[in-house]
Amino acid sequence: MSRVHDALRRAEQSGMLSPPVTRPATDARSALATLDPGPNLQGLLEQVEEIPFRAAADSLLIDVSRPHEAPMEEFRTLRTRLNHMKSLQPMNTVVMTSPSPAEGKSLSAANLALAQAHLAGNVTLLADFDFRRPIVHTLFQTDRSPGITDYLLGKVPLHQAMRKLAGTNMYIMPAGEAVINPLELLNLREVKLLLDRLPSLFNWVILDSPPLLFAADANLLSTMCHGTLLVVRIGHTTIDSVTRAMQSLCNNNVLGIVVNGARRGELYSKYTYYHSYYTPKDEELPEGEELENEEMAAPKEASASGRVAAPTASASHEKPAAEPAASHEEPAS
């Protein structure tokens, strides 16, 4: 071995061996440092167009001016638990999805955004990332375009893809014009940069996305956001679809499950004791308005967001769809 070392030493002294060349680092982190930091958001909200708050007649959106109604109370409970979780860990962006279509994910996303925006100073953005079957623009009776796809394709600046609902802390981003390759569009670098920068403007960014079992869009978006809320519907969602939806996620960052489709009687029964504290007396009701008559004439289902299971830190794959991830507690008087 000593003779090998001596041979190597003589070769180095004669110039036959060269010292190792030090090359500049080319790892992923140094490459990311050269990327565009994203859109300049300074003063952006001042440029956003303000539109009247006109909910579609059959949209079943919650009415924040009637806080005594049970659906509004359910979404306030969900809002409270999400805000508590946010106080424990960084959380600004949440994806709302469901295992299958027609389970109420879009309506739940809109109602949660309305409940969040009802808090003073809680600026909230509802973004329609369901490019396949967008509905946010229909719920709030505005144009679908310009929206998110128009911004991602470089056709409009970011502020033109947004709308502000007059008299609220809520902003919406419609889906934008139809595209033939929604998943490829979501893979653009600009999507990740946008979702990373929006929390500097909004306390909450709530994303509506396609169902998990019918498209990969929600799975991809969940990897870019802080958490995912899974929406299921009583009598519609099966245990198998919930299990497969949860297992399909790349990141198991499910915060909880929102249960839709509860009957109106189920919601109001647990508020009977407190109902008189939340509603005005009969003589204080507007002329011609009778609360009891309204309830008797109401349909059997309160809304597509009838019953909400408040989120938990994690969700089990074995839980059936009709059971919430966390039990709902009665609000204090």
pLDDT tens column, 196-219: 999 999 999 999 999 999 999 999
- What was the pLDDT predicted at 265? 62
pLDDT band of residue 263 (cuts 50, 70, 90) is confident
- What was the pLDDT predicted at 146? 96
Burial category of 193 from C-beta neighbours within 10 Å (exposed 0-12, middle 13-18, buried 19 and up): middle
Cα 106 to Cα 208: distance, rounded to the nearest angstrom:
6
Per-residue pLDDT at 273 exceeds 70:
no
Amino acid found at 149: T
Burial category of 198 from C-beta neighbours within 10 Å (exposed 0-12, middle 13-18, buried 19 and up): buried
Give the mean model confidence (pLDDT) for residues 250-268: 80
Q: What percent of the chain has pLDDT over 70?
A: 67
Look at residues 88, 96, 128 and name the one whose alpha carbon lies nearest to residue 112.
Answer: 96
What the block records as the tokens of 38 is 């994203």
Q: In what side-by-side order are the strands of the sheet with 49-51?
A: 49-51, 163-165, 170-173, 124-128, 204-208, 93-97, 227-233, 254-260
Angle between the 105-117 and 70-88 helix axes, to the nearest 10 degrees? 70
- What was the pLDDT predicted at 268? 55
- What was the pLDDT predicted at 313? 37
- Cβ-contact 312, 101 below 8 angstroms: no
Strands 93-97 and 170-173 turn out to be unpaired
- What was the pLDDT predicted at 19? 43
pLDDT band of residue 173 (cuts 50, 70, 90) is very high
pTM (2 d.p.): 0.72
Report the DSSP beta bridge partners of residue 170: 124
Does residue 96 or residue 314 have the better pLDDT?
96
Burial category of 274 from C-beta neighbours within 10 Å (exposed 0-12, middle 13-18, buried 19 and up): middle
